Every structure is written in C-alpha cells, then in structure tokens.
Amino acid sequence: MIISILILAMFSINGIICQMNQFPNGFMMYSSYPANQYNPNFNRDYNQDQNRFGNQENFNQFNWKQQYQNLSESRQIGTHTMSNQNWNQQDNQKDCTAPRTRGDFCQNEQKLMFYYDLARKVCQPFMYNGCNGNGNRFSSAVECKEYCAGEKGLVQPLKDVPQENTQIMKNTCQGEYDTMHLTVQRCSYSQECSMGHECQGGICCPTRKMIYLYVFLLPVVLSILYIITRFLWELLTVGDLSSKAVFITGCDTGFGRELAKKCAKNGFTVFAGCLTSEGEKSLKEECPLSILHTLPLDVTSEESIQEAKKYVESVLSGSVKLWAVVNNAGIFSCYGPDDWLNIEDYKLSLEVNTLGVIRVTQKFLKASKGRIVTVTSVNGRLSSPAAGPYVVAKFGTEAYMDSIRQELYHFDVKCSILEPGIFRTPLINEQAMLDRVNKVWSRLDEETKAEYGENFKDYCGLKHIAFVCRGNRFHQIFFSVGKTWNKTYISMSSTNFHHVVDNYYHALTAKYPRHRYYCGWDAKFLFVPLSLLPTWWVDFIIRKIAKQEVVPACLEAKLKKQ
C-alpha cells in the first residue's frame, strides 16, 4: 500500500514538472500513455542544451538525432517557434496566394494535399511532408476549389506574392491562352496591372481587347504601314534622265509605241525598234524629237539584232550611256484547241515571245548597266484554253527573267517583269482573232473537221466574236457569262494603255523598281489571285467564266445516244 502511494506521487510530481517546462523554453518528457506504449524519440531540451528521449505526444521529437540538428542549423526551428499545437501558426491561416511548400519532414508518412496554382487557376495535388508548410494547402480538392477558385469568393484579400517562390508556366495565362510573349507580371489588390492587362488569379493577363488587337488589328495596321512605306519608297527616282538611253523593241504599235513617246518627252534618248518601215515612219511623225531614234528590228533574226546594236553604239556619245533594255515585242500567232495546232505554231510563238527576248537581252546585256524590263502576260502565270503557243512562250519568258534577275543581282542590274491583263491591243482584235481561227481551221484535214464540226468552229470565233464591250466589264464576266474565250477576251479588254506604260516608266526611272508589275484591274483582282488558288479551283472557275455551250460534233452525237 505504501509502495503504491509512493509510485503514484512520483508520477504526479513528474507530470507537474513536465507541464511547468513546456513554455517557453522547450519540451520535456511527458506522456499520458501507459508504460508499455512508450516509444522513445529524440527531443531537444533548450534549458539544458542537451538531447533527451521524448515520446509520441508532442512535436519536439525526431526519428533520429541528425534530423533535428539539420533543422536547427538551418534556423527552421528554435525556442520561439515551439508550440504544442503546431510549429508554424500560419498553418491555420489559409492563403491561396502563398507559394506551394512541401514542408519539413516530421512524420513517418507523407500526406496527399492540394494547393491553389495561381498560374493555372486550378487546385493541384502535392505531397505534404507534415511540418513547416504554409496556408496554401487543403485536405481536399473540393475545399481548395471552394476557398480559392471563386465559387464562394476569397475569404481574405489577395496578398503580394513573392516572385521568386511561385512558378508560372512559360507564356501562359491561367493555362487558357498565350500571353503573346509579354513579360508576366504579378498583381494584387494593391498592385495594379499595366494598360491592356487585367489581374486574374494574381497574374497580369492581356484583356480580350488586347488579344483582338494583336490577332486582328495589328496585322491590318502593319499592312497599312507597309503599303505607305512602299509607296514613299517607290517615289525615289534615279534622276538625270538626259544622260540615259533606252532601247525598246516592238514599237510599231501598242505599249512599245506609247512608251517610246513618253520616254523621249521626259528626256531619255530612245532607240525604238520597229518591225516594219511603216511603223518607223508613223512613230517619227507622231514624235519628231531628235532624241527619238527609230530603227528596223526583227527579234527572230540574229543579224537584225546585231545591226541594231551597232547603230545604238554609233549614236551614243560619251555622256549618254545605255541605261535600259525593254523587251516589248510579242505576237499572238494562232488561236484554237491544241488538236488543231502543229509544232510550227509553237515554234513561231517561242521565236518571238521567248527566244526573241533572250537574243536581245544577251546582245545588249553588257552595254546596259541599269535595267532589263520585259513584258510577259497574266498568261505567264495562269494558263487559258485555246491559247497554247502563247501561254507556253509567256511561261518560258517568266522563267528566263526570274533566272537572270538572280544572276545579275551582284552586277547591280535590276530585272523587272510586267504582267498585263487583257488590253485592246492589236493582239486582242476582233478581226485578228477571226483570222487566227480561220487560218488554223483551213489547214485541218477533213477527218478532224468532221470530228469537231462547223458549229464548234463557229462557236470558237465566227458567230460570237463580234461582241462589243459595254458597261461594267466585271459585271459582264460574272453575270453575263461569255460564250467563248474569244468573246470573253474581247469583253474584258481595256483601252487604258497607261496602266502598262506607267509601270514600264516606273521600272525604268525608279531607284527601287519592283520585280513584278501587275497591270490592269483584271490582273490585280482576278487573274493574279486566281493563280494562287488550288489547281482544281482554277479549272472550275475558268470553266464557269468561259461557259461552253457547244461541244465537238463527235461528243454531241454520243450525248444524244445517251
């Protein structure tokens, strides 16, 4: 009995001593467990500055000695942080804007918890070690979402977030859309975002207006600035035209004739090559200036080109140099389906439209130190039916000019291509087109004529060719569809030659000429955009523009049988 009383008194005194030593200087051994449940752990006695054995009741305990020594050396624990309830009083103060911390390991097992990710504006899981964390941790995703994601609102205002502790995904704003590579800024109720941004989840994100500005308005503004800059850039000219000479081919009629007169009136020394003597005489009568020189020229003849070169060299003085060569000569030799044509038709077109350009350019290349300007056609980028030889030659000329433009870059010789639409030149003439169809048809054998029939031949050129352009040309194209390609060409042809001549002149006088000039509204807004479409689109649209109501006789008979 006496022994029992002594034992009870001893335990009571020990309990009182432990309670007295809990605050503020650290923990002593204290346990309400029976002796058989006692599990010794290391603890830190700050009064005696020594290690003692503790139990599983409080937080001043560690599984091994090195664990608390590491924490003590890093100043993560101390006499002022010890509490029987928790190490850090901030644990119980929920803070959605605090950085995620795993805490110090102070339990036998890690615990799955959730934190609020400001960058993505979502609740994310993480493994919590058990001690020394912060308020941005929740026991479940539901609790995190209700507290931080805005469904019930934030319990407390957002706080300034230290930038060095919180990671943000690169170029993302809440994981919803790109930040346009702008610098990600932090924000809070006390720190506002810059103009064009709004605070969302502690991050400055671009507003929808800012997104629309970058996606839609900015390209428009940049395009306008480019157009204005290019316009001003192209106003710069070479100057001193009186010391420059220009050699132009194909000046009997059309664009070449008008260009020769304009260049002479503005001070150029002009050498105008004409195929016929009548062309030379009429041009001299229209422009009797002494600086305009006419000469015979056949671009299919090497001898003719050589004689022209000798004449140019004999006329030029020391102060006047050959500045530019203009390849304007061209023909539209024949018209009709490829089945009606022969190899000579292609040779004739190539001799003038392609090989003629090459002959003249090679002969005058070393003499010209400035410009080589060549006219091709929209048919040099977009093919059309019933014009095979012409289209083939124009495609070849475009390829040749693209090639020498790159080769002559280092010699400071600039090469330009003009791509006119359809203009009412002698090439696009009603009677001339009738003659081309009749010429090709007349040489066909009887079998081929019977295969196609007179109706198809008439449809190609004879009955519907006398179409006169009236009113709006584009209205006629799309709402009164032409019955033949001849009719379509005539209806679309323009008499405004200045579209081509002005581009010619700019290519000769501009300090920074373009590589390509699109001449005419039809070229700019119909043929060039059409050439950029997929091939099957192009074929479909051309068939609709040149709607064919008559088929060859052999096909018509088959259709009737069906």
pLDDT band at residue 165, thresholds of 50, 70 and 90? very low
Residue 539 has, within 13 A of its CA and on its CB side, a CA count of 3
> Cα separation of 289 and 127, whole Å?
94
Q: CB of 272 within 8 A of CB of 283?
A: yes
Least confident of 160-169, 230-239, 285-294: 160-169
Distance CA 307, CA 254 (A): 24
The answer to whether 371 and 517 have CB atoms below 8 angstroms apart is no
Mean pLDDT computed over every residue of the chain = 73
42 vs 318, more confident: 318
Residue with tokens 């955009």: 529
Higher pLDDT pick, 47 / 296 = 296
pLDDT over 70 percentage in the chain: 63
Is residue 323 within 8 A of residue 334, CB to CB? The reply is no
> pLDDT band for position 119 (50/70/90)?
confident
Nearest-angstrom CA–CA distance, 509 and 370: 10
Intra-chain end-to-end CA distance of the chain, in Å = 127
Q: So what's the pLDDT on residue 167?
A: 41
- Cβ 359 vs Cβ 309: under 8 Å: no
Judged against a pLDDT cut of 80, whether residue 353 lies above it is answered with yes
**Residue 197 confidence (pLDDT) above 50:** yes
**What are the residues facing 163 on neighbouring strands?**
none
Of the candidates 128, 390, 504, 505, the residue annotated as catalytic is 390
* Domain edges within the chain: 2-73, 90-209, 234-425
Query: Which residues fall within 8 angstroms of residue 113, CB to CB, at 6 or more apart?
Result: 125, 126, 127, 128, 137, 138, 139
| pLDDT band at 249; cut points 50, 70, 90 | very high
pLDDT at 251 over 70: yes
> pLDDT of 47-57, one tens digit each?
444 444 444 44
How distant, in Å, are the alpha carbons of 256, 307, 363, 395 from that of 349? 18, 23, 20, 12
**Closest by alpha carbon to 50, among 42, 41, 40, 59?**
42
Query: Is the pLDDT confidence value at 109 over 70?
Result: no
Phi first, then psi, for residue 106 (nearest 5°) are: -140, 20
Structure confidence by residue, pLDDT tens digits, 355-393:
999 999 999 876 567 899 999 999 889 888 888 899 999
Helical (H) or strand (E) element with 326? strand 321-327
pLDDT score, position 423: 81
Give the tokens for residue 412. 């400071």
DSSP 237-295: B---GGGEEEEES--SSHHHHHHHHHHHHTT-EEEEEESSHHHHHHHHHH---TTEEEE
Q: Which helix (DSSP H) or strand (DSSP E) does residue 113 occupy? A: strand 111-117
Dump pLDDT digits (tens) for 59-106: 455 444 444 554 544 444 443 334 333 434 444 577 787 777 777 767
Q: Are 505 and 520 in contact (CB under 8 A)?
A: no
Phi, psi of 369 (to 5 degrees): -110, 5
Q: What is the b/e burial string over 57-95, where b = at least 16 CB atoms within 10 angstroms of the residue's CB?
A: bbbbbbeeeeebeebeeeeebeeeebeeeebbeebeebb
- The fold of the 90-209 domain, in CATH, is Factor Xa Inhibitor (4.10.410)
Q: How do residues 488-512 score in pLDDT, each as one tens digit?
A: 555 556 678 888 999 999 999 999 9
Provide the pLDDT for residue 554.
Answer: 63
Is the pLDDT at 46 greater than 50? The verdict is: no
H/E element holding 391? Answer: helix 388-407
* Whether 115 is catalytic: no
CATH number of 234-425: 3.40.50.720
Note the pLDDT of residue 95. 78
Quick one: pLDDT at residue 424?
A: 76
CA 464 – CA 468 distance, rounded (Å) = 10
> Which of 123-132, 243-252, 322-331, 435-444 has the least mean pLDDT?
123-132
Alpha helices in 469-534 (DSSP H): 473-479, 485-492, 498-509, 521-522, 528-531
The answer to whether the CB of 116 falls within 8 A of the CB of 148 is: yes
pLDDT tier, 193 (very low <50, low <70, confident <90, very high otherwise): confident
